[in-house]
Amino acid sequence: MRIVGIETEYGITDPDDPRANAILLASRLVSACRAELGDLSARWDYGGEDPLQDQRGMRRDRRYATADLLTDAPEYSEAERGITLRRRRGSWEDPAHLNAVLPNGARFYVDHAHPEYSGPEVRSAHDAVLWDVAGDRIALAAAARYEAIEGERVTLYKNNVDGKGASYGTHENFLVRRDVDFDALASRLTAHLATRQVYTGAGRVGLGAHGEDAGFQISQRADYIETEVGLETTLRRPIVNTRDEPHASRQRWRRLHVIIGDANCLEVPTYLKIGTTALVLAAIEAEDERLDALVLADPVGDVRTVSRDLALETSLALASGETATALEIQRALLEICRDYARDGDDALVLARWESVLDRLGRDIFEAAREVEWVAKLQLLGRLRTKNAGPDGRPLPWDDARLAAADVQWSRLGDGFAFRLAAAGAVERLTTDEAVAQAETNAPQDTRARLRGAIVAGRPDIVDAAGWSTVVLDRDADHGNLEVVHLYDPHEASHPLLDSLLRG
Amino acid sequence: MPQVNASGQPYEDDAPEPAAAPAQQASTDALDDLLDEIDGSLQTNAEQFVRSFVQKGGE
């Protein structure tokens, strides 16, 4: 499969002090993570980051960028492959407590006011799940270390909303061929991103960005998506994000940054959202014109419509003048994608995709072991019945107990979703043993292998590492750092780094 | 409008009610225990917990 990676921003609180400063909490958590994993010393290298370049070919002038877009260091340059020299930086750049480069190839850092785990590059939907779950375990271990160091508690949540207007993201990244026309890509991908929530949605109590109306909806993120295509991720959030920061050879690849997805505590939704989207992208790369029949007339409105359609029966207007339900659009995408299965992993994705759609179409509760919003709705439904009023009516959706249960569903460690998994009531795709391996070992079939191995194995000579660079500090006398460029994310070996790792 | 059900009521109690899950008899006891525990934990301070769960925007 193509290269993919998942980024998760966790909700964070001090349960004993709800007013604690979230940025401070998150940066102390990152410090605890560095300590927990053996006093990791490598800094994050921002070389190659370029959040102002737009996939549509434009470039946002730095003067007109809002501050939250400026996530890079202002020294961006596109160097050739190989090794280049760089002057030594001031120690004020990238204070160490804001970033940790992990032995499994991931980055754990502070993004705005949240701790974020950006998983390593992987090459299958199953590996995407494995290193995503490993991130949850790493974050939990960091929280335990934090409590030991600080003598205070910290709680993490794998969700996307606080019910009061704030939303934070779970982003997917897909490597896509550069020669694909971006407007065509956006047009052909949108129907998938708007309708896949029927199996990727995590479920949410409350309707509207501030939870102003009572009710339950399929997706955490639906009410925060405001436009079809755009560069921003924190305001005017788009269905298709145009940030053009490939972290790889700009001549060969794009990195498609998908921001519409929910954080998933169940494993099957993560597996399907990565696996199905990768297949749809293969159809787009092949310029499969069957996708044009599925273009939606009002995709932004449809994201909300689908999220509120728990019966999965509402017809959406297509640009062609026809109508189709979200399930019908997903079935049509599944049929198209059958032509793009390339290996056994793809075949497994197709089989799971078909099976989940079939069961959702018969009775949504047949999918309660795999689809997160259905599992959540089932649990909350039983709570509503159990607490029915004297007139026999179930607990109303605006009861605080249901809102509390929604948040506590996603609490890392002992949240209800994780308790259901431990009780065998929801399906897992990973084993505890494999997850433990993935906490400290990088995928072996991408450049993440090099990043993880060198920061863990040679901290004596690594100054920094980023997605497409490893910065070496081998000789204090010559005054320069050596920047090793890794512009092909499929490349899991490098002559210099491999020789340094041997010894 | 999809946000409104056929009788014009806001989408409040329109959610399908879960049937007893058929395929998971083995884990039903564990689920019932978990449900009791969750229910107990939510009876106190749910309102305060929800009010104090405040996050900053991200991304």
Per DSSP, the residues of A63-127 read GGS-GGG--S-TT---PPSEEEEEEPPPTTSS-GGGEEE-TTS-EEEEETTEEEEEPPPBSSHHH
- Give pLDDT, residue A480: 83
pLDDT digits (tens, 9 = 90+) for A142-189: 999 999 999 999 999 999 999 999 999 999 999 999 999 999 999 999
> Which of A45, A50, A111, A244 is an active site residue?
A111
b vs e for A75-89, b when ≥16 Cβ sit within 10 Å of the residue's Cβ? eeeeeeeeebebeeb
pLDDT at residue A30 greater than cutoff 70: yes
pLDDT digits (tens, 9 = 90+) for A13-29: 999 998 999 999 999 99
CB pairs < 8 Å spanning A and B: 158
Chain B residues in contact with A166 (beta carbon < 8 A): 54-58
The length of chain B is 59
**How far out from the chain centre does Cα A250 lie?**
22
pLDDT digits (tens, 9 = 90+) for A413-436: 999 999 999 999 999 999 999 999
Residue bearing tokens 């145009």: A242
How many Å apart are CA A327 and CA A360, to the nearest integer?
A: 8
- Give pLDDT, residue B35: 87
pLDDT at residue A370 greater than cutoff 70: yes
pLDDT digits (tens, 9 = 90+) for A89-104: 655 555 556 899 999 9
Nearest 5°: the CA angle B16, A329, A185 is 130
Please report, rounded to a whole number, the percentage of residues in chain A having pLDDT higher than 70.
91
How many Å apart are CA B42 and CA B39, to the nearest integer?
A: 5
Q: Where is A382: in which H helix or E strand?
A: helix A372-386
Average pLDDT rounded to a whole number, residues A204-215: 96
Q: Which residues of chain B have pLDDT under 70?
A: 1-30
Bigger pLDDT: A12 vs A48: A12
Average pLDDT rounded to a whole number, residues A55-69: 66
pLDDT at residue A438 greater than cutoff 90: yes
pLDDT digits (tens, 9 = 90+) for A390-405: 999 999 999 999 999 9
Q: What pTM was computed for the model? A: 0.91
Q: Judge whether A199 and A371 are in contact, CB under 8 Å.
A: yes
Q: Is A339 a catalytic residue?
A: no
Q: Where is A434: in which H helix or E strand?
A: helix A432-440
**Chain B contacts to A (CB-CB under 8 A):** 2-3, 10-19, 21, 23-24, 26-27, 30-31, 34-35, 38-39, 41-43, 46-47, 49-50, 52-59
Q: Judge whether A306 and A194 are in contact, CB under 8 Å.
A: yes
pLDDT digits (tens, 9 = 90+) for A300-328: 999 999 999 999 999 999 999 999 999 99
Interface test with B, best of A162, A219, A316, A414 (most B CBs within 10 A): A162
How many Å apart are CA B42 and CA A386, to the nearest integer?
A: 12
Residue bearing tokens 């039903």: B28
Q: Which of A111, A397, A419 is nearest residue B58 as measured by Cβ atoms?
A: A111
Q: Judge whether A160 and A217 are in contact, CB under 8 Å.
A: no
Q: Which of A9-18, A135-144, A224-233, B19-28 has the lowest mean pLDDT?
A: B19-28
Residue bearing tokens 């730095």: A62
Average pLDDT rounded to a whole number, residues A354-363: 98
Q: Which of B12, B23, B59 is nearest residue A396 as measured by Cβ atoms?
A: B12
Q: Which of B11, B26, B49 is nearest residue A404 as measured by Cβ atoms?
A: B49
Average pLDDT rounded to a whole number, residues A30-55: 81
- Give pLDDT, residue A493: 95
Q: Is A383 on the interface with B (CB under 8 A)?
A: yes
Please report, rounded to a whole number, the percentage of residues in chain A having pLDDT higher than 90.
80
Which residue of chain B comes nearest to A169, CA vs CA? B59
How many Å apart are CA A89 and CA A86, to the nearest integer?
A: 8
ipTM given for this complex = 0.86
Q: Tell me how close the Cα of A482 comes to any Cα of chain B, in angstroms.
A: 31
Q: Where is A12: in which H helix or E strand?
A: strand A11-13
Of A226, A248, A250, nearest to A239 by C-alpha is A226
Total Cβ atoms within 10 A of residue A300: 17
pLDDT at residue A376 greater than cutoff 60: yes
Instruction: Report residue A87 as tokens.
Output: 């002057």
- Give pLDDT, residue B5: 38
Total Cβ atoms within 10 A of residue A181: 11
Residue bearing tokens 């259901």: A420
Q: Judge whether A146 and A14 are in contact, CB under 8 Å.
A: no
Interface test with B, best of A10, A365, A369, A377 (most B CBs within 10 A): A365
pLDDT at residue A49 greater than cutoff 80: no
Q: Judge whether A471 and A450 are in contact, CB under 8 Å.
A: no
pLDDT at residue A72 greater than cutoff 70: no
**Binding-face residues of A in 320-359 toward B, CB within 8 A:** none
**To the nearest whole number, what is the mean pLDDT of chain A?**
91
The length of chain A is 503
- Give pLDDT, residue A93: 56
E-only strand ranges, A209-343: 213-217, 227-230, 238-241, 253-258, 315-317, 323-325
Q: Where is A481: in which H helix or E strand?
A: strand A480-485
Average pLDDT rounded to a whole number, residues A435-456: 97
E-only strand ranges, A106-246: 107-111, 114-118, 155-157, 170-177, 204-207, 213-217, 227-230, 238-241
pLDDT at residue A296 greater than cutoff 70: yes
**Helices (H) and strands (E) in chain A — how many of each?**
14, 19
- Give pLDDT, residue A67: 59
